Structure 1
Amino acid sequence: MLKNILLWVVIGIALMSVFNGFAPKDKNDSTLSYSRFIEAVAYGQVETVTIDDNKIKGKMRSGEKFRTFSPNDAHLIDDLLEHGVE
């Protein structure tokens, strides 16, 4: 009986580990529209960004994390540098 309980506990822990691996990452990121993102950059509210193709992830100076999608904006990098975004 004890072996059966132990077996089910081990199976349960293994299943929880597997399903936890499939959980979406960055749950705490809020999604911004691109226009709101550009506005935040202009007002100096954006601290850091990471750009991967058309995906932008970043952190506001308030500590809030965000993500947005970029159209092919030729002036984006210049705007980020001009407003001190890392």
Structure 2
Amino acid sequence: MSDMAKNLILWLVIAVVLMSVFQSFGPSESNGRKVDYSTFLQEVNQDQVREARINGREINVTKKDSNRYTTYIPINDPKLLDNLLTKNVKVVANHLKSQACWLLSSFPGSRCCC
């Protein structure tokens, strides 16, 4: 393989890694406002929450007054989904891909099934 091809591949890998890092630390849907989990649960019980977008342990919340914030599930809460559905909160769950899988799948000819 020529030196030019090696340099091109190296720069492509660096670019993909940098894009991944910026995407991970970029702004979230909630405009950066964070609320503790117990406040989130209180607002759900008081029928103030319209939508909950669940991304792993992160929840992006849209209230009925259109305010948004982010909260984090501190522990496994098996009652959370039932509670949200009982209170007619729209639940959206996103499939999380690992960063390594995303990086590998960006190369031609590679397949990642995560």
TM-score by length of 1: 0.68
Instruction: Classify the secondary structure of the residue corresponding to 1:40.
Output: helix
Is contact 1:29-1:64 (8 Å) kept? Answer: no
Q: When the two structures are aligned, how many residues end up with a matched partner?
A: 65
Residues in 2 aligned to 1:29 and 1:40: alpha-carbon distance in whole angstroms: 19
Following TM superposition, by how much is the alpha carbon of 1:25 offset from its aligned partner in structure 2, in angstroms? 1.1
TM-score by length of 2: 0.52
Q: Does the alignment pair 1:56 with 2:67? A: no
Question: What is the aligned counterpart of 2:86 among 58, 82, 85?
Answer: 82
Percent identity of paired positions between Structure 1 and Structure 2: 28
Residue matched to 2:70: 67
1:15-57 deviation per Cα after TM superposition (whole angstroms, max 9, x unaligned)? xxxxxxx584136242110000000000000000111111111
Q: Which structure has more RCO (C-alpha within 8 Å, separation ≥ 6)? A: 1
Highest CA radius of gyration, 1 or 2? Answer: 1
Over the residues paired in the alignment, what is the CA RMSD in angstroms?
1.6
Following TM superposition, by how much is the alpha carbon of 1:80 offset from its aligned partner in structure 2, in angstroms? 0.1
Consecutive unaligned residues of structure 1, counting only runs of 5 or more, are 1-21
Q: For 1:1-86, list aligned pairs within 5 A.
A: 24-26=26-28, 28-70=31-73, 71-86=75-90
1:39-81 deviation per Cα after TM superposition (whole angstroms, max 9, x unaligned)? 0000000000111111111200011111000121000000000
Amino acid in the other structure paired with 1:74: P
